[in-house]
Amino acid sequence: MNVGILMNVFANNDHYLNDLKITVDKLRASDNFLIIAHAFPDGDTIGSSFALCMSLIKIGKHARVICSDSIPTKYEYIYSSLIQSDFEAKFIIATDIADTNLFGEKLQEYVGCVNLCIDHHISNKKYAEFTLLDAKAAATCEIIADVIKLLGVEFDNVIADSIYTGLATDTGCFRYSNTTPKTLRCAADMIEFGAKSAIINKRMFETNSRARLEIERSAMNSLEFFCHEKAVLICITLDMLAKAGATELDLEGIPSLPVRIEGVIVGITIKEKSTGHYKISVRTNNGVNASKICASLGGGGHAAAAGCQFDGTLEQVKNIMIEIVNKELG
């Protein structure tokens, strides 16, 4: 193991390092690992689970990954090379799962018997026997990379692809504020270990489905400025979704589009969930309190991203949101 890698591990605080050692001791002492990825799996839970699984297999252990939902085919470069072995599970690991309600319908039997949870969510409910948590990590994959290093497993290109995927997807390709020097250095290591970063980035960030294109186009066509162009509103109705052939999965990231317009400080996205029932996402810039705006309709969230619900007509929900925002921005 080279000095650079060890320095990377030890750059963290003592508490984390201690928990990392406990984690690795547990992994060394156990076998027959069942690794749980969360429901509606994303790049971080998939990358974390498979990178850990492959590493455990590399040191002669039995391990497999399970998930309540099927894993999207765009991640097949991670899981396709893995031979799933059949064995009786003895040690249950959850990756990137803050709360057991994210296990999904099919994996409820494992709630209450998780031996180890590896996660980066500060909101982690500590439901596992032991939790390795680093809330400063941009992705759980960043923590998994430390575990693999300390386990003494040599990174190969598939493990590197897995880790890189989690780092890139959880940071919007290193764009979001959660990206730290450690995240970037971990990504650099993974590229040196053979991660096909450019191909992964293209697949994750530069490929849109036709349905996504259509729904984004019609959402942007619904755009209305108000409050002296400081606020913007877009709508996504059931009819628009049907015409675009789109589902909920195609809407990822759309609520953050309106506030990207120069000068806009409040962006409202109104989604029709079922006839007459609307979910509203509010995103803000410049310190405007999104949570306060949503509280007017009984919702809540964070300072820059919040949500609420409304029953009525599209006209009514638009009018009430415009009224609330006008009042808030004075």
Per-residue burial over 153-174, b = 16 or more CB atoms within 10 Å of its CB, e = otherwise: bebeebbbbbbbbbbbbbbebb
- Least separation in angstroms between CB 193 and a second copy: 10
Residue 279 in contact with residue 273, Cβ under 8 Å? yes
- Least separation in angstroms between CB 230 and a second copy: 12
- Least separation in angstroms between CB 166 and a second copy: 15
Closer residue to a second copy (CB): 66 or 223: 223
Closer residue to a second copy (CB): 302 or 327: 302
At 44 the three-state DSSP class reads helix
Closer residue to a second copy (CB): 64 or 283: 283
**What is the H or E stretch that residue 250 is in?**
none
Closer residue to a second copy (CB): 135 or 213: 213
Residue 90 in contact with residue 59, Cβ under 8 Å? no
- Least separation in angstroms between CB 37 and a second copy: 24
Contact set with a second copy (CB under 8 A): 4, 7, 172-177, 179-182, 184-185, 187-189, 191-192, 197-198, 201, 205-210, 213, 217, 220-221, 223, 229, 256, 260-263
- Least separation in angstroms between CB 175 and a second copy: 5
Closer residue to a second copy (CB): 73 or 274: 73
Tell me which amino acid residue 60 is: G
Q: Strand runs (DSSP E) across 40-167, as ranges?
A: 63-67, 91-95, 116-119, 130-133
Burial of residue 48 (CB within 10 Å: 0-12, 13-18, 19+) is: buried
